[in-house]
Chains A and B, each alone.
Chain A
Amino acid sequence: MVLKNMKLAVVFIFCLFATVNAFAQAESGATAKQVVDKFQTELIAVMKNGKQLGYAGRYDKLYGPVSDSHDLTKIARIVVGKEWEKLSEAQQQKLTDVFARLSVASYAHNFKDYSGESFVFDSEEETTRGGVVVHSHFIIPDDKPVKFDYMLKEKGNSWRIINIIANGVSDLALKRSEYTTILQREGFDALIVKINEKIDNYSKL
């Protein structure tokens, strides 16, 4: 009888532990794959309603999903490389703000409608520095699929996208070359003007 009680108690404790454990996992935020999955699903959903939403509608719908899944502050810092340290705090804040708007604007512009596209998850790997790369591809009907590799880093208790590599072309690397070149050649104000021009163009195209 005692034995039976003990067994029950063990089972009970085990169940409790399992629940707590599961709860803790849910608390600790989404995994890298979940973050990417969620974002891709939201993106496809916006594409499906893209025409009705119009540019402004897509922009509004995507603002949350993009800023929740991407670490835009960190990306903005990386793309200006060593120049970041030379910027004043006000400039850093300004860059972060316009960069966030540019990121959402380019999504709103480039994913404007839907013709059967979908994302497919391929695999996931950890990098040596504690990041995770989620490999996926974007299927476009009647066209070659585009490989999308997402690089994520942990931020707080969740994972955030910090780079997207499309068919081997790293967005972060591309932007960093552009932004540092402009900062060195033309200065901070010119960079902000150029980014604002792009945002403006996206809204009109």
Chain B
Amino acid sequence: MNKPCSGNRNAKIQQIISVMLIGAAFFLGGCATTGVTEQQNSANKADPYEDLNRKVFVFNDTVDDYVAAPISDAYKWITPQFMQTGVFNFFTNLKNINVVINDVLQAKYAQSAHDTGRFALNTTLGLGGFVDVAKSVGLEQNDEDFEQTLAVWGVPQGSYLVIPFLGPSTVRGVPGAAFDTAANPVSYVGLPVQLISLLNTRANAEGALKFIDEAALDPYVFTRESFLQWRNNLATDGKSESSLELDNELGEDGANSSGKGGDTSADNKTAPALHENTGTK
């Protein structure tokens, strides 16, 4: 209810996904088939592979605790803040090539001009992207990727998936990430730069991961719900009918409690499961 940094958190989660490698797509084919038998315990329609996903989630968490977090902490400790910001700006700027491609694929032509301007300005005046000069002239960073494009094209989101080493995604997110990886120059410049990119991503996820740790009663569900809602919000550019969805949630509540609490919102005509709203768009 009270998370000033939830936007950040989600942005960071997204960054984790954006470094996903194409190979993961092949791995996932395997996951999807083995998961089919495990759906009995799942309460969530968007997450039929919950049991398997939870195992991968625990695995990722362990890897993060023992490998990624220590390296990331060391990076944050030895690197001056202005360098960290520069590195963050550099990789964010490179992503704008993909942002512009996806602007066009979603027919957002005005925004594609805005994002091209942003990229050009930061690459030149911003010294190769290390300085975010575009922000100071009012060209804010937009967040577009191929998964959002697929959503705009009407591809359903599909099941929620937790991918080893890479974290939350969906069936639609996998080809999305594969495309984004292919469209990011970082993928072609060699291992050292890719490692720095990973380090940058993890270091910037710090606040988000800390927030989840502090706020979540069930970190797996917390991550899944915030991830799915946030992706849905991005795909619809914040125009998803959240108020309507909320009313439906309340309608459901009203129906449940009308016998007891005298709730006024008892006209529960639709009351779809929450995850039909958030999970599949």
Q: Which residues of A contact B (CB under 8 A)?
A: 70, 74-75, 77-78, 81-82, 84-85, 103, 106-107, 109-111, 117, 125, 127-131, 133, 138, 140, 143-144, 146-147, 149, 151, 153, 162-182, 184, 191, 194-195, 198, 201-202, 205
Contact = CB atoms under 8 A, between A and B. Distances in A.
Contacts of B261: 77
A81 B217 CA distance: 16
B4 A177 contact: no
A168 B242 contact: yes
Contact of A131 (B2, B140, B221, B246): B246
Nearest to A161: B1
A117 B230 contact: no
B243 A169 contact: no
A108 to B, nearest CB: 9
B105 to A, nearest CB: 22
Given A70-B1, A133-B243, 10 more contacts: A74-B263, A149-B242, A162-B250, A163-B246, A169-B10, A169-B229, A170-B278, A173-B225, A198-B214, A198-B215
Contacts of A107: 1-2
- Please classify the interface of chain B as helix (H, G, I), strand (E, B), loop, or mixed, using the class held by over half of its residues: helix
B246 A127 contact: yes
A153 B250 contact: yes
A131 B243 contact: yes
Given A129-B267, A165-B242, A172-B246, A110 B253 contact: no
Contacts of A179: 217
Interface in B232-281: 232-234, 238, 240, 242-247, 249-253, 256-257, 260-261, 263-265, 267, 274-275, 277-278
Contacts of A205: 214
Top-5 shortest CB links A-B? A168-B233, A167-B7, A171-B1, A129-B247, A166-B6
Nearest to B253: A78
Nearest to B44: A177
Most chain B beta-carbon neighbours within 10 Å: one of A117, A151, A182: A151
B249 A127 contact: no
B60 interface: no
13 contacts: A74-B263, A84-B257, A129-B267, A130-B264, A131-B246, A146-B6, A149-B242, A149-B243, A170-B242, A171-B3, A180-B43, A198-B215, A202-B214
Contact of A106 (B2, B10, B240, B256): B2
Given A111-B4, A191-B217, A131 B250 contact: yes
B229 A110 contact: no
B222 interface: yes
B2 A181 contact: no
A164 B2 contact: yes
Nearest to A162: B250
A174 B244 contact: no
Contacts of B263: 74
Contacts of B264: 130
Contacts of B5: 110, 146
B247 A127 contact: yes
B6 A169 contact: yes
Contact of A168 (B221, B222, B232): B232
Contacts of A109: 214
Given A129-B251, A174-B222, A177-B44, A146 B243 contact: no
Nearest to B254: A129
B249 A172 contact: yes
Contacts of A130: 264-265
A158 to B, nearest CB: 14
A180 B234 CA distance: 26
Contacts of A184: 43
A147 B229 CA distance: 14
Contacts of A125: 243
B226 interface: yes
Contact of B1 (A77, A81, A84, A103): A103
Given A162-B250, A178-B216, A198-B215, A138 B242 contact: no
Contacts of A84: 256-257
A129 B222 contact: no
A110 to B, nearest CB: 5
A82 B256 contact: yes
B172 interface: no
Contacts of A202: 214
